[in-house]
Amino acid sequence: GQAVFQLPVGVSTPVAVALFFLPLLLHVVTAAISALGARKSTRAYLLALGTAIVVHVAYNLGVLSYAFV
């Protein structure tokens, strides 16, 4: 049961903590971007949603490129 709480080889504690909290931060930021656009108009919301999607895709690509280095 303790194997679940061990860090993978080569991953430091700060990196593990960052990888744990970064998804939360990502979703807070993308939700805020969308919400700010929604406050103005439908067009602004669609632009903000597109921006949030681009931010999310960039994050995903960054995480995947780090995972497969």
**pLDDT per residue as tens digits for the range 3-58:** 666 766 777 888 878 878 989 999 999 999 999 999 999 999 999 999 999 999 99
Looking at the chain, which runs of residues are DSSP E strands? none
Q: C-alpha dihedral over 23, 19, 59, 41, to 10 degrees? A: 20
Altogether, the residues listed in the chain come to a count of 69
String of b and e for 40-63 (b: at least 16 CB within 10 Å)? Answer: eeeeebeebeeebeeeeeebeeee
Write down the pTM of the prediction: 0.74
